Chains A and B, each alone.
Chain A
């Protein structure tokens, strides 16, 4: 898959954007605060109608403007596609895929993108929820059934929490709680199976991936999956859940830890090692998505050289750009040659490049 063109109005610091992309490598340059990262975020938003940085679309509106609009054209398997997203200050959002209104969940299946950014290292040092979401998002892209399982799970969890908050006073409430518990447990086991199978696949590709980055010392990195507590005596569980005001069992509480030999990477590795390991894991994601969807995802790399040392950055860039379209940002752009350069300046908030 590759991106062809992008138009936008009133997104973050840009009032107008009109761009076309080179099929292989694209470099966005500009000084600090010129909007390089915003442009990466804009590409992601235009494809998925969601930002990877904020869940509040209001924050994306250009200062004092009442609407934003994005339009992105891309090609996948030789088919041209266009996604138009519009959002206004009344919080109304519309998504059009090839001029037909669509739900945003459809967009995740239409295009495929991998983002490498300064927040990538959260994958290792962040909370377990970051790793759970990371696995779930990979699964949603490669397995459609997982999407509906995850949706049912989230609905079940929300309903069950709502019921627990009302303290299960009546017998009917308790029956419904019981039913939701059964559903939660069976959906949990499906989600766990999906995640554990994926972890097995990731563990199998870690060693070839780290060798691509010339990091042989990380070949023994391993992901491990830990179940949260299991269902104990149901009546005891209900009592405790009412006391704590929420669900205490299920796959949404499971933990995923990363080990280097016997040591947890989160606790024992240095900041720099954590960064390298998270980039390796993202590269595993890249490889898996490529194999599973038989399509290379577009790589968006924010601030390549400030995140990795020069050698690693060159290796990462060489590898991803050899198989997929790559769009990356850099302060100067002196270290890497790209087919197309998109220069940004701090003063101008209009980009027009044919």
Chain B
């Protein structure tokens, strides 16, 4: 039976290791690499190499960075008294896009999942508590996801900080913009009621 050439098969196998890439997609990608112009392919390879070589973790907040500190940690204009705790860098980027927050971040690089053996020492929690002791924060904002693990991680942080004088807040959970109340699920609607805000002029 005829098979593809060994180098082709090897490339397919490697691509198949990537998340979300099945065997068929891996073959498609390999074929498209062969069709690419030489200079385009070099650009692609270079980008991947640069990614591996240059992108590191910020030594302070564990966000992605290309130097010792990430762009946010090295920005003196940032409010040094506020710290927002997120699960992953992509959450940080989502919050940054809103422009609503000007403080610092801490990226946990995961959440507590005891079922999968992910306990506090497997994510950046120790580093978080170290920062809280040694930097001058006044408020910590917990922005982990609103699912079981995200809530558990937030509760764990609150428990560990019960003797500190920090203001601890959690992002509000409620109705998304543009949504209809009649279609909201009951739990969300209940949370929205509990977390209702006094109407201020800023809102208009």
Contact = CB atoms under 8 A, between A and B. Distances in A.
B114 A163 contact: yes
B119 A172 contact: yes
A148 B173 CA distance: 16
A159 interface: yes
Contacts of A145: 186-187, 190
A315 to B, nearest CB: 38
A162 interface: yes
Interface string B49-88: 0000000000000000000000000000000000000000
Contacts, number: 49
A175 B159 contact: yes
Interface residues of A, number: 21
A144 B186 contact: yes
Interface string A226-246: 000000000000000000000
A169 B141 CA distance: 30
B101 interface: no
Interface in A163-189: 163, 166, 170, 172-173, 175-176, 178-180, 183
B186 A173 contact: no
How many of chain B's residues touch chain A, expressed as a range?
10 to 19
A148 B187 contact: yes
Interface in B106-154: 112-115, 117, 119-121, 125, 148, 152
A178 B152 CA distance: 12
A103 B152 CA distance: 23
A175 B114 contact: no
A155 B151 CA distance: 12
Given A178-B159, A179-B159, 11 more contacts: A144-B185, A144-B187, A145-B187, A145-B190, A151-B148, A152-B148, A159-B152, A172-B121, A175-B160, A176-B119, A176-B120
Interface of A: 144-145, 148, 151-152, 155, 158-160, 162-163, 166, 170, 172-173, 175-176, 178-180, 183
**10 closest Cβ contacts across the A-B interface?**
A172-B120, A159-B114, A163-B114, A155-B148, A162-B114, A162-B115, A144-B186, A179-B159, A158-B115, A159-B115
